[in-house]
Structure 1
Amino acid sequence: MDDLNLEIIVKSGILPVRVSLSSPYFELFKHFLENTGECFIILDSKGKVKYVNKACESFFSKPKSELVGKKVKLDLCQFEEKEKTLEEEIFGKKAKIIGRIARDEKGELLGVCLIVRSEEKPKVRELLADIMYHDLINPLTVIKGVASLGRENVEDDALKRNFSIIVKNTERLEGMIRNIATFIKLETLEPRFESVDLVEVIKNTLKSFSESIKDKNLDIVTYLPEKMEIKADPIIEQVFLNLISNAIKFSFNNSKIEIGIQDMADKVRVYVKDYGPGIPDEYKRKIFQRFERVEEKEEGKGLGLAIVQRIVEMHNGKVWVEDNKPTGSIFYVEIPK
């Protein structure tokens, strides 16, 4: 997201608070906008799409690359009225659109920030999943961001520890909510296969876990090509979120995690290797079943790896785990191109 996009967001007044462009809170807002369940679209003064967040990919069933640069056929002047909500078709989908206009100091139009919501009435299960993403994940993202900034800007060691506890537990809760919401969605999901760059998916996933990686002082070693595209549903991201989350969770402090992508002609193999305690042989199959964990004292509900297997099988792939001798585990995912 470039400075112009950020300026449009701020001057549109669509955010609940006003901050200057130089504010350190911009990192928080950038993270929030990219990871919120709401669809955010930024248009320039001519109605051309300059930015879309991740939620737009799922909503429109199109990658960002197909949305950015397109012109939206909307009369931007309609959004001069701040509380106005339109019911229009956008990118071939009927939706409710809330828009806010951004102008510079001279009153010239900079662009428009849009929030796009589904016009269809969701089923109860889908509604529950949406509530989890929108109403629970969004405030958690803000809490985590503020706590991260607080930890970086205080001198007192006790306060730093308290902020770290907040960050750790919001990440844990965020992961649990995402898993439950994803599990609900999987029951009715009809996969929509499109071009997905696994390298970008993995890099974005690692960014989202930067605080946890820092807390455990982990060395992340990647063996990634410049690009690796496959045909997949965007939900494939959840596979690598869960695998990398597990690797971080079970890694010993000051150890490392290795992540690699291997091109195998008609398929792609991805591995996530940790140097933690490892998994006993009797659990290697069980851990991919719902509510199964290696030890009862482990956090979570045992859905993470069940979700991984379900999504991978949906893509006609396979997932398994092997020992990383002398210590740790290697999770492998193979998916057809």
Structure 2
Amino acid sequence: MVVIDWWLVAAVLAGVAVGAGVAVAALHRRSSRLRAELTALERLAQRRADQVNALSHELRTPLSMIKGTTDLLLEGTPGPLTPAQEKFLTVAAHQSTQVIGLCESLLLQAKIEAGLFTPRLERVDVGVVARDVVAAMRSLTGQRQQRITVDTPQVMPWIPADPLLLTQALTNLLSNASRFTTTGGSINVRVMTMDSGVAVYVTDDGAGMTRNERERLFRRFATGRPLADGTGLGLVITKTIVELHGGEIMVHTASARGTTFLLTLPGRS
């Protein structure tokens, strides 16, 4: 016959209850601490986004005025320019445009990192977006005597996407391709449909990248070449835009053999 010591059982159960209560209290304190840290991080991200926004605005305003003034002078107002003046003003206008674009990129990236930005999705024909971006890039590639082509199906499925962000992503890829393709080189954009959505290939026959350059590709302020123009921020933003849409971006490259960027975008869920 087994004799049960109920006092001992009660003591054990009481100990378990106390231990459980202590554990729950510790978890509650830890949860409260994590919530406080999360709130502090959110406030820090918001403050950082506000600071970048203010800085971007302070930079864009005078730069836009400089750009507007140089454009007027290049148009012949108030009078004709000497060849040297025209050359210097063209450089000033070009550099102003680049810095204004950098300000916009920094602002967008800060908003995304702070969680203050979400894509405005609508039904988009990626083929139309690709053709529009290529058409807009022809003046740049023409200056560098580069051939740019686009290949899209006649009928494309609609996918949920933010057309402005998608335009920026493709523009960044084509600008990067033009920058690292030699004079007289070729750039091709190809859009294809997949079972899961749409794929876009951007291929150039430029210098390509080494393994070390490939590893640094999507880091902020890391360009494909140590002395190249550009900050590398455009590719970081492109990757972020693609991922915001639930897609992926990949790259195939080899030194002296050109580069192909592939981005995939999911179709209707």
Quick one: structure 1 residues 278 and 325, their matched pair in 2 at CA, closer, same or farther if it must change by over 3 Å?
Answer: closer
Kindly report the root-mean-square deviation, in angstroms, between the aligned alpha carbons of the 2 structures: 3.3
Misfit runs of 4+, over 4 Å: 136-150, 154-164
Shift of 1:315: 1.3
What residue is the counterpart of 1:176 in the other structure? 102
What residue is the counterpart of 1:292 in the other structure? 222
Structure 2 unaligned segments of length 5 or more: list them: 1-48
Quick one: structure 1 residues 287 and 125, their matched pair in 2 at CA, closer, same or farther if it must change by over 3 Å?
Answer: same
Quick one: structure 1 residues 319 and 124, their matched pair in 2 at CA, closer, same or farther if it must change by over 3 Å?
Answer: same
Shift of 1:302: 2.4
CA distance in 2, matches of 1:211, 1:136: 26
What residue is the counterpart of 2:13 in the other structure? none
- 1:1-337 matched pairs, under 5 angstroms: 124=50, 127-128=53-54, 131=57, 135=61, 139=65, 142=68, 146=72, 158=84, 161-162=87-88, 164-187=90-113, 188-226=116-154, 228=156, 229-233=158-162, 234-323=164-253, 327-337=257-267
For the Cα contact (< 8 Å) 2:141–2:178, is it kept in 1? yes
CA distance in 1, matches of 2:256, 2:227: 24
Amino acid at match of 1:173: V
Shift of 1:130: 7.4
Quick one: structure 1 residues 136 and 254, their matched pair in 2 at CA, closer, same or farther if it must change by over 3 Å?
Answer: farther
Shift of 1:310: 1.2
TM-score (norm. length: structure 2): 0.65
Greater C-alpha radius of gyration: 2
CA distance in 1, matches of 2:111, 2:135: 25
Give the number of aligned pairs: 213
**Residues 267-296 of structure 1 deviation map (CA, whole Å, 9 limit, x = unaligned):** 111111112111112332321122323333
What residue is the counterpart of 1:118 in the other structure? none
More helix as a share of residues: 2
Quick one: structure 1 residues 271 and 184, their matched pair in 2 at CA, closer, same or farther if it must change by over 3 Å?
Answer: same
Per the alignment, in what secondary structure is the counterpart of residue 220 of structure 2?
coil
Quick one: structure 1 residues 132 and 317, their matched pair in 2 at CA, closer, same or farther if it must change by over 3 Å?
Answer: farther
CA distance in 2, matches of 1:211, 1:308: 22
**Residues 63-111 of structure 1 deviation map (CA, whole Å, 9 limit, x = unaligned):** xxxxxxxxxxxxxxxxxxxxxxxxxxxxxxxxxxxxxxxxxxxxxxxxx
Quick one: structure 1 residues 243 and 159, their matched pair in 2 at CA, closer, same or farther if it must change by over 3 Å?
Answer: same
Per the alignment, in what secondary structure is the counterpart of residue 261 of structure 1?
strand
For the Cα contact (< 8 Å) 2:210–2:254, is it kept in 1? no
More strand as a share of residues: 1
CA distance in 1, matches of 2:129, 2:70: 21
Q: Identity, % of aligned pairs?
A: 24
Per the alignment, in what secondary structure is the counterpart of residue 199 of structure 1?
helix
TM-score (norm. length: structure 1): 0.53
CA distance in 2, matches of 1:197, 1:142: 34
Amino acid at match of 1:230: I
CA distance in 2, matches of 1:287, 1:255: 22
